[in-house]
Amino acid sequence: MFERLKECAHRINDMRIHNLYVDAQGETHFRDIEVAWVEERPGGKLSRRMAATGIIFRQTGGDYDLDWHPAPRRQYIINLDGGVEITASDGEKRVIGAGEVLLVEDVTGKGHLSKAVNGQMRHSIFVPID
């Protein structure tokens, strides 16, 4: 039991990125990417620097639901407030809440569904990486 508690505490301290990717058959799936810490300073831990090509701010209405679509480009999406329910073509659904990070890489294939959560408007940041 003590080992299980240690494992849960370890997960709480980790930073996770939801990753939506496409397989060779065009199906989309989720996986988790754990952020690897490469440096520790008095102010906290740092990951390696990752390439990005810009930043886009977005406001999405609480009634905005988008049918099946691929991502327009590989990008990180960071929800600042509100949440979005994403459904992969394999049927898995995840709610990406405020403060969470999603890396969308399903630029081909069947794509995914996006659905507002609780009719709440959300603000997010897109960070393209291609």
Per-residue confidence band for 12, with pLDDT thresholds at 50, 70 and 90:
low
What is 16-128's CATH superfamily?
Jelly Rolls (2.60.120.10)
pLDDT of residue 7: 46
Q: Which two tokens stand for residue 84?
A: 């979005």
Q: What is the pLDDT of residues 50-104, one digit of tens each?
A: 999 999 999 999 999 999 999 999 999 999 999 999 999 999 999 999 999 999 9
Q: Which two tokens stand for residue 14?
A: 């980790």
Q: Which two tokens stand for residue 102?
A: 């999603």
In the chain, the percentage of residues whose pLDDT exceeds 70 is 90
